[in-house]
Amino acid sequence: MRVPGWGTTATLDELSGIGLAKYFQTLTDILVGKGLVRGSSLRGAPYDFRHTPYAQWLTDMESLVEDT
């Protein structure tokens, strides 16, 4: 399963993607207010808890952490 916006907070901020359900947006807004920068020091790794992480997700996550 692939999620668009890997590494950004856009797919974490809203569940629906059209503003119907704010999910992590309050948290990311607070962190941005504290000085973090979306896409640079504040990144996101969307994950669907209903699925077991697959090997590529784990590799992508490792790279995301190292790059950040």
Judge if pTM exceeds 0.75.
no
Q: Does 2 fall in a domain?
A: no
Q: Is residue 22 part of a domain?
A: yes
4 assigned to some structural domain: no
- pLDDT tens-place string over residues 16-47: 556 566 778 888 999 999 999 998 999 988 77
**Domain annotation covers residue 1:** no
Residue 61: inside a domain, yes or no?
A: yes
The domain in which residue 26 lies consists of: 10-67
3 domain residue, yes or no: no
- The 3-class secondary structure across the chain, one letter per residue, is CCCCCCCCCHHHHECCCCCCCECCHHHHHHHHHCCCCECCCECCCCCCCCCCCCHHHHHHHHHHHHHC
Q: How many domains does the chain have?
A: 1
